[in-house]
Amino acid sequence: MTAPAPRGWCPSLHEPMESGDGLLLRVRPPAAGLRAADARLLARMAARHGNGRIDLTQRANFQPRGFSPASARAFAGAMVAAGLAAADPVVERGRNLLAPPLLGVDATLHPGTAALVAAMAAAMRAWPVLPAKFGVVVDGGGLLPLPMQADIGARPGEIHVGGAMASCDDIPAAATRLAQWFAGRSEPRMRHAVTVLGAGAILRAVGLAPRPAPPAPPAPRSVGRLPGALGVAPAFGALEAAQLEILADLAETGDGTLRLTPWRTLLLPGVIALPEGLITDADDPRLRIRACTGAPGCASGWIETRAAAAQAATHGIPGLLHVSGCGKGCAHPGPAPRLLLGTARGFAVARDARAAAPPEQDGLTLDAALEALS
Ligand code: SF4
């Protein structure tokens, strides 16, 4: 293990993060999907070396939990040996590319998408060392368009930074100029540089002609029977190793791959049968709840968020509900129509609020908080 990078630090496979249930780390599946055999290995190693809990992240990564320093090294070694990660921590940290989950499956993706993903991944290997959270998204439209919410966003023929975009023939070259420009800055993320300079000035600084980008599309449906794939979701993004093994078996009845999405769902191309114990109904009320790890898994959590979220799902609370164990708001950085927050005084509630904002009511019981939000 290496020392954590100081600017914009974030856990990776070789740089685990301490949490309430031990160390957690991240596994980044390949852009074209994780093969069933690799998913099975990941599940078995997460159960053997960690506590078997695997969160799905909004960057479409697996985040297994509950490791000791020694068992985290053993797990990382198994992932590298399986070809699921780079042995070099710096290289592994830089593999921060989100690609369309149905790459190679969705015939409605822009025909240049796969080539762009491959070219971007190759270009990124030669980029300077950037903050660990620095990420790239490559979108190709199709059934599940990705939001351009990354430090650099790319689509065939266009590049995006912080709400601005530019047309461009050589996207990997333009992205490389942006990465090199950003490497000379002190901000932890591109959005901070955007706040200081403006997105247009950043694009102009690397020779691009900016224009406003259209608003992000609403999150598409990624649960249930989709054209060409089955979408499943673990409740609140929390998967068990045993469930991942079941999904690996199921994937082998389809094209043999599992695809992670930034909506904390898994897609199984070509699969028909529905698994037990996972959400497959797009109208399930748990899909309208964003809950962080909370207590006891996270040492900062004031409340058991997932238990509270499970109870909230039975209350018919309208719209999106954000359940946050503390004011950091890991599960939903923006404002949410309904907020259920853990504080030193108990449960707090607010509407149209970020987790960090002062709540409207605090010191409530869970029942009273849910009543206030209903
Ligand atoms: S929001 Fe707070 S309690 Fe929840 S995971 Fe983040 S730090 Fe932990």
Residues above pLDDT 90, as percent of the chain = 91
Asked if residue 100 is part of any domain, the answer here is: no
* 87 CA → ligand 1 middle, Å: 29
Asked if residue 271 is part of any domain, the answer here is: yes
Same domain, 209 and 116: yes
Pocket test for ligand 1, best of 65, 300, 305, 339 (most atoms within 8 A of CB): 300
Same domain, 291 and 272: no
Q: Mind listing the pLDDT tens digit for each residue in 35-53?
A: 999 999 999 999 999 999 9
Assess whether the C-beta atom of 330 lies below 6 angstroms from ligand 1: yes
Give the residue numbers spanning the domain of 292.
285-373
pLDDT of res. 8: 54
Length of the chain: 374
pLDDT of res. 125: 93
Q: Regarding beta strands 229-232 and 53-56, do their DSSP bridges make them parallel or antiparallel, or are they unpaired?
A: unpaired
Pocket test for ligand 1, best of 57, 328, 347 (most atoms within 8 A of CB): 328
pLDDT bin (cut points 50, 70, 90) of residue 3 is very low
Same domain, 322 and 270: no
Asked if residue 112 is part of any domain, the answer here is: yes
Same domain, 188 and 249: no
pLDDT of res. 6: 44
The pLDDT mean for the chain works out to: 94
Q: Give the domain CATH number at 4.
A: 3.90.480.20
Q: Mind listing the pLDDT tens digit for each residue in 69-93?
A: 999 999 999 999 999 999 999 999 8
The C-alpha atoms of residue 43 and residue 177 are separated, in whole angstroms, by 38
Q: Mind listing the pLDDT tens digit for each residue in 231-274?
A: 999 999 999 999 999 999 999 999 999 999 999 999 999 999 99
Asked if residue 179 is part of any domain, the answer here is: yes
Same domain, 272 and 322: no
* Domain edge (last residue) among 182, 216, 250: 216
Same domain, 293 and 341: yes
Q: What is the mean pLDDT of residues 191-198?
A: 96
Asked if residue 230 is part of any domain, the answer here is: no
Six token digits for residue 120: 């971007």
Same domain, 67 and 112: no
pLDDT of res. 217: 82
Q: Mind listing the pLDDT tens digit for each residue in 295-341?
A: 999 999 999 999 999 999 999 998 999 999 999 999 998 899 999 99
Asked if residue 57 is part of any domain, the answer here is: yes
Query: pLDDT at residue 185 above 70?
Result: yes
Q: Give the domain CATH number at 321.
A: 3.30.413.10
Q: Mind listing the pLDDT tens digit for each residue in 92-150?
A: 988 899 999 999 999 999 999 999 999 999 999 999 999 988 999 999 999 999 999 89
How many domains are there within the chain?
A: 3
Same domain, 65 and 158: no
Same domain, 115 and 46: no
Asked if residue 172 is part of any domain, the answer here is: yes
Same domain, 266 and 327: no
* 255 CA → ligand 1 middle, Å: 36
The C-alpha atoms of residue 313 and residue 18 are separated, in whole angstroms, by 30
Same domain, 293 and 344: yes
Contacts 24+ apart (CB under 8 A), 18-21: 18/299, 19/65, 19/293, 19/297, 19/298, 19/299, 20/293, 20/295, 20/296, 20/297, 20/298, 20/299, 20/300, 20/301, 21/51, 21/53, 21/65, 21/66, 21/296, 21/297
Same domain, 272 and 293: no
Asked if residue 349 is part of any domain, the answer here is: yes
pLDDT of res. 9: 67
pLDDT of res. 333: 86
Query: pLDDT at residue 1 above 70?
Result: no
